Amino acid sequence: MPQWGMTIDLDRCTGCEACVVACHAENNIPTVGDEQAARGRAQHWIRIERYFEGEFPDVRAKFRPVLCQQCDAAPCEPVCPVNATYHSPEGLNVQVYNRCVGTRFCANNCPYTVRFFTWFDPEWPSPLDEQLNPDVSIRTSGIMEKCTFCVQRIRRARDTAKDEERDLQDGDVQPACAQACPAQAIVFGDLSDPDSKVSRLANSRRGFRLLEELGTRPRVIYLKEAGE
Protein backbone atom coordinates (compact mmCIF):
# COMPACT_ATOMS: atom_id res chain seq x y z
CA MET A 1 0.00 0.00 0.00
CA PRO A 2 1.61 3.28 -1.02
CA GLN A 3 2.27 5.86 1.67
CA TRP A 4 1.84 9.20 -0.02
CA GLY A 5 4.19 12.03 0.81
CA MET A 6 5.59 15.20 -0.65
CA THR A 7 8.81 17.18 -0.63
CA ILE A 8 8.99 20.88 -1.28
CA ASP A 9 12.39 22.30 -2.15
CA LEU A 10 12.50 25.79 -0.67
CA ASP A 11 15.67 26.52 -2.60
CA ARG A 12 13.77 26.13 -5.86
CA CYS A 13 10.57 27.90 -4.86
CA THR A 14 10.33 31.38 -6.38
CA GLY A 15 7.02 32.29 -4.83
CA CYS A 16 5.31 32.56 -8.21
CA GLU A 17 2.05 31.02 -6.89
CA ALA A 18 1.41 28.90 -9.97
CA CYS A 19 0.67 26.06 -7.57
CA VAL A 20 -2.03 28.14 -5.89
CA VAL A 21 -3.77 28.82 -9.18
CA ALA A 22 -3.44 25.22 -10.35
CA CYS A 23 -4.93 24.00 -7.09
CA HIS A 24 -7.89 26.30 -7.50
CA ALA A 25 -8.49 25.03 -10.99
CA GLU A 26 -8.08 21.36 -10.16
CA ASN A 27 -10.13 21.28 -6.97
CA ASN A 28 -13.00 23.61 -7.85
CA ILE A 29 -12.00 26.08 -5.16
CA PRO A 30 -14.03 29.24 -5.52
CA THR A 31 -12.63 32.73 -5.41
CA VAL A 32 -14.64 34.47 -2.74
CA GLY A 33 -14.53 37.99 -4.06
CA ASP A 34 -12.62 40.99 -2.74
CA GLU A 35 -15.09 41.84 0.02
CA GLN A 36 -15.06 38.36 1.53
CA ALA A 37 -11.31 38.08 1.05
CA ALA A 38 -10.87 41.32 2.99
CA ARG A 39 -12.93 39.72 5.76
CA GLY A 40 -10.43 36.90 5.90
CA ARG A 41 -12.34 34.18 4.10
CA ALA A 42 -10.14 33.43 1.10
CA GLN A 43 -9.66 29.75 0.43
CA HIS A 44 -6.23 28.72 -0.83
CA TRP A 45 -5.60 25.08 -0.11
CA ILE A 46 -1.96 25.72 -0.89
CA ARG A 47 -0.59 29.16 -0.15
CA ILE A 48 2.81 30.80 -0.36
CA GLU A 49 3.80 32.17 3.02
CA ARG A 50 6.11 35.06 2.55
CA TYR A 51 8.38 36.29 5.30
CA PHE A 52 10.92 39.07 5.17
CA GLU A 53 14.09 38.68 7.14
CA GLY A 54 16.68 41.24 8.01
CA GLU A 55 17.03 44.97 7.50
CA PHE A 56 17.80 46.83 4.31
CA PRO A 57 20.15 46.26 2.47
CA ASP A 58 20.36 42.68 3.78
CA VAL A 59 16.68 41.90 3.33
CA ARG A 60 15.73 38.44 2.23
CA ALA A 61 12.32 37.26 1.18
CA LYS A 62 11.53 33.68 2.09
CA PHE A 63 8.78 31.75 0.38
CA ARG A 64 7.24 28.71 1.86
CA PRO A 65 4.34 26.86 0.22
CA VAL A 66 2.08 25.55 2.97
CA LEU A 67 -0.62 22.99 2.37
CA CYS A 68 -2.25 20.32 4.44
CA GLN A 69 0.60 18.34 5.91
CA GLN A 70 -1.47 15.12 6.06
CA CYS A 71 -0.11 14.51 9.55
CA ASP A 72 0.18 10.96 10.81
CA ALA A 73 -0.82 12.21 14.25
CA ALA A 74 -3.19 14.84 12.94
CA PRO A 75 -4.62 17.01 15.73
CA CYS A 76 -7.61 17.83 13.52
CA GLU A 77 -8.87 14.26 13.28
CA PRO A 78 -9.89 13.28 16.82
CA VAL A 79 -11.75 16.51 17.54
CA CYS A 80 -14.42 16.21 14.85
CA PRO A 81 -17.61 15.19 16.66
CA VAL A 82 -19.15 13.46 13.64
CA ASN A 83 -16.19 11.52 12.26
CA ALA A 84 -15.94 13.72 9.19
CA THR A 85 -12.16 13.51 9.09
CA TYR A 86 -9.89 10.54 9.56
CA HIS A 87 -6.63 9.04 8.40
CA SER A 88 -6.74 6.72 5.42
CA PRO A 89 -4.56 3.59 5.31
CA GLU A 90 -2.48 5.27 2.60
CA GLY A 91 -1.62 8.13 4.90
CA LEU A 92 -3.99 10.79 3.63
CA ASN A 93 -5.98 12.96 5.99
CA VAL A 94 -9.43 12.48 4.54
CA GLN A 95 -12.18 15.09 4.75
CA VAL A 96 -15.67 13.70 4.22
CA TYR A 97 -17.67 16.61 2.84
CA ASN A 98 -21.11 15.16 3.21
CA ARG A 99 -20.57 14.22 6.85
CA CYS A 100 -19.24 17.60 7.97
CA VAL A 101 -21.69 19.65 10.02
CA GLY A 102 -19.40 22.64 10.32
CA THR A 103 -18.39 22.89 13.97
CA ARG A 104 -14.99 24.15 12.77
CA PHE A 105 -13.24 22.47 15.67
CA CYS A 106 -10.78 20.76 13.31
CA ALA A 107 -9.73 24.11 11.89
CA ASN A 108 -9.08 25.41 15.38
CA ASN A 109 -6.80 22.52 16.20
CA CYS A 110 -4.69 22.66 13.05
CA PRO A 111 -1.37 24.33 13.93
CA TYR A 112 -0.65 24.97 10.25
CA THR A 113 -3.97 26.78 9.70
CA VAL A 114 -4.49 24.80 6.51
CA ARG A 115 -8.19 24.08 6.91
CA PHE A 116 -10.74 26.21 5.19
CA PHE A 117 -14.43 26.73 5.69
CA THR A 118 -16.95 27.58 3.01
CA TRP A 119 -18.85 30.51 4.45
CA PHE A 120 -21.25 31.07 1.54
CA ASP A 121 -22.38 28.89 -1.34
CA PRO A 122 -19.78 29.24 -4.07
CA GLU A 123 -20.58 30.89 -7.35
CA TRP A 124 -18.94 30.54 -10.72
CA PRO A 125 -20.41 33.12 -13.05
CA SER A 126 -20.57 31.91 -16.63
CA PRO A 127 -18.33 30.86 -18.36
CA LEU A 128 -16.23 29.92 -15.31
CA ASP A 129 -18.68 27.15 -14.56
CA GLU A 130 -17.48 25.39 -17.68
CA GLN A 131 -13.98 24.87 -16.33
CA LEU A 132 -14.99 22.95 -13.22
CA ASN A 133 -13.29 19.61 -12.67
CA PRO A 134 -15.90 16.83 -12.89
CA ASP A 135 -13.80 14.59 -10.63
CA VAL A 136 -14.12 16.90 -7.62
CA SER A 137 -17.34 17.69 -5.77
CA ILE A 138 -18.53 21.23 -5.20
CA ARG A 139 -18.70 22.10 -1.51
CA THR A 140 -21.71 24.09 -0.36
CA SER A 141 -21.60 26.47 2.57
CA GLY A 142 -21.03 25.14 6.07
CA ILE A 143 -18.41 22.53 5.16
CA MET A 144 -14.69 22.26 5.93
CA GLU A 145 -12.22 21.55 3.17
CA LYS A 146 -8.48 21.37 2.64
CA CYS A 147 -5.79 19.94 0.45
CA THR A 148 -6.38 16.27 -0.34
CA PHE A 149 -3.08 15.57 -2.13
CA CYS A 150 -5.36 15.55 -5.22
CA VAL A 151 -6.96 12.30 -4.16
CA GLN A 152 -8.98 12.30 -7.37
CA ARG A 153 -5.74 12.06 -9.34
CA ILE A 154 -4.50 9.26 -7.09
CA ARG A 155 -7.70 7.39 -7.67
CA ARG A 156 -7.57 7.96 -11.42
CA ALA A 157 -3.96 6.81 -11.61
CA ARG A 158 -4.81 3.70 -9.65
CA ASP A 159 -7.74 2.94 -11.98
CA THR A 160 -5.52 3.43 -15.02
CA ALA A 161 -2.91 1.13 -13.57
CA LYS A 162 -5.52 -1.51 -12.87
CA ASP A 163 -6.86 -1.24 -16.41
CA GLU A 164 -3.36 -1.68 -17.71
CA GLU A 165 -2.81 -4.56 -15.29
CA ARG A 166 0.24 -3.10 -13.68
CA ASP A 167 1.24 -1.55 -10.36
CA LEU A 168 1.39 2.13 -9.68
CA GLN A 169 4.73 3.53 -10.63
CA ASP A 170 6.63 6.50 -9.40
CA GLY A 171 5.48 9.52 -11.36
CA ASP A 172 2.01 8.16 -12.15
CA VAL A 173 0.44 10.53 -9.64
CA GLN A 174 1.16 14.20 -9.78
CA PRO A 175 -0.97 16.63 -7.83
CA ALA A 176 -1.90 19.84 -9.58
CA CYS A 177 0.58 21.92 -7.60
CA ALA A 178 3.48 19.61 -8.46
CA GLN A 179 2.44 19.57 -12.07
CA ALA A 180 2.21 23.35 -12.33
CA CYS A 181 5.38 24.33 -10.51
CA PRO A 182 7.78 25.76 -13.10
CA ALA A 183 10.78 25.22 -10.86
CA GLN A 184 9.78 21.63 -10.06
CA ALA A 185 10.04 22.42 -6.40
CA ILE A 186 7.20 20.07 -5.43
CA VAL A 187 7.75 16.34 -5.71
CA PHE A 188 5.03 13.84 -4.83
CA GLY A 189 5.11 10.08 -4.51
CA ASP A 190 5.22 6.97 -2.42
CA LEU A 191 7.37 7.38 0.69
CA SER A 192 7.32 3.65 1.36
CA ASP A 193 9.05 2.96 -1.96
CA PRO A 194 12.77 3.54 -1.31
CA ASP A 195 13.45 4.07 -5.01
CA SER A 196 10.90 6.80 -5.57
CA LYS A 197 12.10 10.32 -6.17
CA VAL A 198 10.23 11.63 -3.15
CA SER A 199 11.84 9.08 -0.84
CA ARG A 200 15.32 9.98 -1.99
CA LEU A 201 14.63 13.68 -1.57
CA ALA A 202 12.96 13.15 1.79
CA ASN A 203 16.12 11.57 3.14
CA SER A 204 18.19 14.57 2.14
CA ARG A 205 20.22 16.30 4.83
CA ARG A 206 18.37 19.47 3.95
CA GLY A 207 15.05 17.91 4.95
CA PHE A 208 12.96 19.19 7.86
CA ARG A 209 9.32 19.12 8.82
CA LEU A 210 7.26 22.14 9.76
CA LEU A 211 6.44 22.52 13.47
CA GLU A 212 7.98 19.10 14.03
CA GLU A 213 8.22 19.71 17.77
CA LEU A 214 4.43 19.53 18.05
CA GLY A 215 4.53 15.83 17.29
CA THR A 216 2.08 15.93 14.40
CA ARG A 217 4.37 13.78 12.16
CA PRO A 218 3.59 15.59 8.91
CA ARG A 219 4.14 13.93 5.54
CA VAL A 220 5.39 17.04 3.81
CA ILE A 221 9.15 17.36 3.98
CA TYR A 222 10.67 20.73 3.26
CA LEU A 223 14.19 21.03 1.92
CA LYS A 224 16.08 23.90 3.44
CA GLU A 225 17.50 26.63 1.31
CA ALA A 226 21.20 26.56 0.66
CA GLY A 227 23.12 28.49 3.25
CA GLU A 228 20.56 27.87 6.00
Cβ atoms < 10 Å from Cβ of 68: 25
Q: Is 77 in the site for other proteins (CB under 8 A)?
A: yes
Q: Is 63 in the site for other proteins (CB under 8 A)?
A: no
Candidate segments 19-27, 160-168, 188-196, 207-215, binder of other proteins by CB under 8 A: 207-215
Count the residues in the chain.
228
Q: Is 113 in the site for other proteins (CB under 8 A)?
A: yes
Longest dimension (CA), the chain: 59
One of 52, 128, 141, 208 touching other proteins (CB under 8 A): 141
Residue list 5-34, contact with other proteins (CB under 8 A)? none
In whole angstroms, how close is the CB of 170 to other proteins at the nearest point? 26
DSSP 59-125: -EEEEEEE-----TT-TTSTT-TT--EEE-TTS-EEE-GGG-----HHHHH-TT---EE--S-----
One of 60, 61, 120, 155 touching other proteins (CB under 8 A): 120
Judged by beta carbon, residue 142 or residue 207, the one nearer other proteins is 142
Judged by beta carbon, residue 71 or residue 176, the one nearer other proteins is 71
In whole angstroms, how close is the CB of 173 to other proteins at the nearest point? 22
Cβ atoms < 10 Å from Cβ of 144: 25
In whole angstroms, how close is the CB of 172 to other proteins at the nearest point? 25
Instruction: Give the C-alpha separation, 13 to 61, whole Å.
Output: 11
In whole angstroms, how close is the CB of 151 to other proteins at the nearest point? 16
Output phi, psi for 171, to 5 deg.
100, -10
3-state secondary structure of 199: helix
Residues 193 and 170 sit within 8 Å (Cβ to Cβ): yes
Q: Tell me which residue of 223, 4, 217, 5 sits closest to 112, measured CA to CA.
A: 217
Candidate segments 116-124, 130-138, 169-177, 198-206, binder of other proteins by CB under 8 A: 116-124
In whole angstroms, how close is the CB of 175 to other proteins at the nearest point? 21
One of 66, 177, 178, 187 touching other proteins (CB under 8 A): 66
Residues 76 and 115 sit within 8 Å (Cβ to Cβ): yes
Residues that bind other proteins (CB under 8 A): 36, 39-42, 47, 49-51, 66, 72-83, 85-87, 99-105, 107-109, 111-113, 116-121, 141-144, 210-211, 214, 217
